[in-house]
């Protein structure tokens, strides 16, 4: 979406009025609220665990401490997502674009932070693919976008996550389309690959090499059905938790 031009980059002349694309504000603030909520919950759980341990409730205290540590680790994961969304922007000028890409823009790939100016003439294409990650009988899907330069280098741009579920937020497709339009280059769809999901696709997950071949169509369809089933299960658990909470009150 379009927002007022930034002036923090020395690459931009003061007279320029670039179109700047960022993740939607509602998504960024949702990540901020989720980060603060998980931080508060994990802190309270650990504090209660300490109190229980001092009172001699070793079993309950240890369980609460373990849960608090798990929530704190999960909060670190959400914080990384927040930082990756909050600082990301793509500014388009007449003959070049300015990329501000934080390190946390991917939760499975490991891209470094990049703040670079790239002439449109140096861009060969924007590439994308679907990436499936199975874990504990579930499967989630994401779509990363990669900028391919004429010299052969690639720059990881960003990724849409939770595809095929009610939590799907395809916010980066329009930015990729804007790059394609401004640079006059193709958008290459590389199909679908399947990586390692690790634990809940959070810890220990890894993606195949970018040159990995696409999966056969029949396997892709099976994976999509699994992804949709996972999304339905997740929403059912949320509804069940809300019903249980309501019944307790």
Distance between CA 171 and CA 160 in Å, rounded? Answer: 7
**Mean of pLDDT values over 94-104:** 92
Whether the CB-CB separation of 220 and 194 falls below 8 Å is answered with: no
Q: How far apart are CA 109 and CA 208, in angstroms?
A: 10
pLDDT for position 13: 45
Outline where DSSP puts E strands in 58-173: 89-92, 96-101, 114-119, 123-135, 138-149, 154-160
pLDDT band at 18 (very low <50, low <70, confident <90, very high): low
Does residue 185 have a pLDDT over 90? yes
- Split at pLDDT 50, 70, 90, the class of 200 is low
The reported pLDDT for the residue numbered 239 is 45
- Helical spans, DSSP H, in the chain: 25-54, 58-86, 173-183, 217-248
Closest CA relative to residue 158, chosen from 168, 149, 170, 140: 170
Mean pLDDT of 154-180: 87
Q: For 100-114, 128-142, 164-178, which range has the lowest pLDDT when averaged over its residues?
A: 164-178
Mean local confidence (pLDDT), 30-58 = 86
Structure tokens at 26: 């509602």
Contact 130, 193 (CB under 8 A): yes
DSSP secondary structure letter of residue 131: E
Largest CA distance in the chain: 69
Query: How many Å is the Cα radius of gyration of the chain?
Result: 21
Q: What is the arithmetic mean of pLDDT over 71-76?
A: 81
Q: Mean per-residue pLDDT for 171-179?
A: 90
Residue 168: name the closest of 47, 4, 11, 27 by CA. 27
For the beta carbon of residue 137, count every other beta carbon within 10 angstroms: 9
Residue 145 is predicted with a pLDDT of 96
- What is the mean pLDDT of the segment spanning 62-79? 82
Residue 9 clears pLDDT 50, i.e. is over it: no
Average confidence (pLDDT) over 172-196: 93
Beta bridge partners of 152: none
Which pLDDT score is estimated for 197? 73
CB 88 within 8 Å of CB 31: no
**Are 48 and 63 contacting, i.e. CB atoms less than 8 angstroms apart?**
no
- Give this prediction's pTM: 0.76
pLDDT at 214 over 70: yes
User: Which stretch of 1-10, 80-89, 103-112, 140-149 has the lowest confidence by average pLDDT?
Assistant: 1-10
* Of 104-118, 147-161, 229-243, minimum mean pLDDT range: 229-243
User: CA-to-CA distance for 216 and 222, rounded, in angstroms?
Assistant: 10
Cβ-proximal residues to 99 (8 Å cutoff; 6+ apart), any chain = 89, 90, 114, 115, 116, 117, 118, 147, 155, 157
The torsion angles phi and psi of 142, rounded to 5 degrees, stand at -135, 165
pLDDT score recorded for residue 246: 45
Task: Identify the residue whose tokens are 């339009």.
Answer: 181
Q: Which tokens go with 94?
A: 């007449």
Instruction: Report which of residues 239 and 110 the model is more confident about.
Output: 110
Q: Range with the lowest mean pLDDT among 93-107, 159-173, 201-215, 229-243?
A: 229-243
């Amino acid at each position: 979406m379009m927002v007022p031009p930034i002036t923090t980059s020395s690459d931009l002349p003061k007279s320029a009025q670039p179109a700047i694309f960022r993740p939607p504000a509602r998504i960024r603030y949702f990540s901020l609220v989720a980060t603060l909520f998980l931080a508060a919950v994990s802190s309270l759980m650990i504090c209660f665990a300490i109190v229980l341990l001092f009172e001699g409730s070793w079993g309950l205290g240890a369980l609460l401490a373990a849960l608090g540590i798990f929530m704190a680790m999960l909060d670190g994961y959400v914080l990384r997502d927040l930082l990756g969304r909050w600082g990301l922007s793509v500014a388009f000028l007449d003959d070049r674009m300015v990329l501000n890409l934080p390190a946390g823009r991917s939760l499975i790939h490991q891209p470094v932070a990049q703040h670079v100016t790239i002439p449109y003439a140096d861009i060969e294409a924007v590439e994308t693919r679907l990436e499936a990650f199975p874990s504990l009988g579930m499967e989630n899907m994401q779509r990363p976008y990669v900028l391919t330069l004429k010299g052969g280098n690639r720059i990881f741009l960003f990724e849409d996550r939770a595809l095929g579920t009610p939590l799907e937020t395809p916010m980066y497709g329009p930015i990729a389309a804007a790059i394609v339009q401004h640079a006059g280059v193709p958008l290459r769809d590389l199909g679908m690959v399947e990586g390692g999901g690790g634990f809940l696709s959070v810890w220990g997950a890894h993606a195949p090499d970018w040159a990995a071949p696409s999966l056969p169509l029949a396997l892709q369809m099976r994976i999509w059905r699994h992804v949709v089933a996972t999304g339905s299960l997740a929403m059912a658990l949320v509804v069940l938790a809300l019903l249980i909470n309501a019944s307790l009150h």
